[in-house]
């Protein structure tokens, strides 16, 4: 039996992504976000609230990094989602994480995050539901520790975690459960 819950943003899993930008004084700003993802081969779409410091940085710099955090950085990553750079200037410094400047975009790469997309801002649109940022992926950086023997990203090695919008939890992503475009192939024969 189903229970009617009304209109809620309940979808699982929701991603946990880290948006990296530079502040006006060149210090690092990073925030966790969950409302966004890949929207084309070389594009990401982010839905943000316009009052974030990160949004001001996106407007000023026209660039950002989008990283996938691992469970080893969960506490620092969660803090970067809790704390506001509008109120806490040393937000990133408090985490103990380390940043280097991207060689492709005007944004930081956080060394502890194993997968980072380097992006430029293509478009920022104020919508009734919030601000939508469309970014163009100009490069992907992956720590060698998350690559398989063929040089491809092994999702299991990311040790990623996802967000549970229903109960505000984080869940570690487990092992592989099937093979895309193969696990259901036998049903094509019926």
The domains of the chain, with CATH numbers, are 17-177 (2.30.110.10)
State mean pLDDT over 153-159.
95
Coil/strand/helix, residue 129: coil
pTM, entire model: 0.94
Least confident of 91-95, 118-122, 183-187: 183-187
CB 107 within 8 A of CB 92: no
Q: What is the rounded distance in angstroms from the CA atom of residue 110 to the CA atom of residue 101?
A: 9
Q: How far apart are CA 10 and CA 20, in angstroms?
A: 26
Q: What are the structure tokens assigned to 156, written together?
A: 């299991």
Return the SS3 of 86: coil
pLDDT in tens, 75-99: 999 999 999 999 999 999 999 999 9
């Amino acid at each position: 039996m189903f229970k009617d819950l009304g209109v809620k943003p309940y979808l699982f899993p929701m991603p946990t992504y880290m948006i990296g930008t530079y502040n006006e004084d060149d210090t690092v700003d990073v925030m966790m976000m969950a409302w966004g993802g890949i929207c084309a081969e070389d594009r990401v779409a982010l839905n943000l609230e316009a009052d974030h410091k990160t949004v001001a940085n996106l407007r000023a710099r026209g660039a950002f990094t989008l990283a996938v955090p691992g469970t080893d950085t969960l506490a620092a990553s969660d803090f970067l989602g809790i704390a506001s750079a509008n109120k806490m200037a040393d937000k990133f410094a408090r985490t103990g994480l380390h940043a280097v400047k991207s060689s492709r975009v005007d944004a930081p790469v956080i060394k502890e995050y194993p997968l980072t997309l380097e992006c430029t801002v293509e478009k920022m649109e104020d919508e009734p539901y919030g601000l939508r940022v469309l970014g163009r992926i100009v490069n992907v950086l992956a720590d060698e520790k998350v690559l398989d023997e063929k040089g491809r990203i092994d999702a299991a090695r990311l040790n990623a975690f996802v967000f549970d919008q229903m109960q505000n939890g984080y869940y570690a992503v487990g092992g592989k459960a099937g093979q895309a475009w193969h696990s259901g192939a036998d049903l094509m024969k019926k």
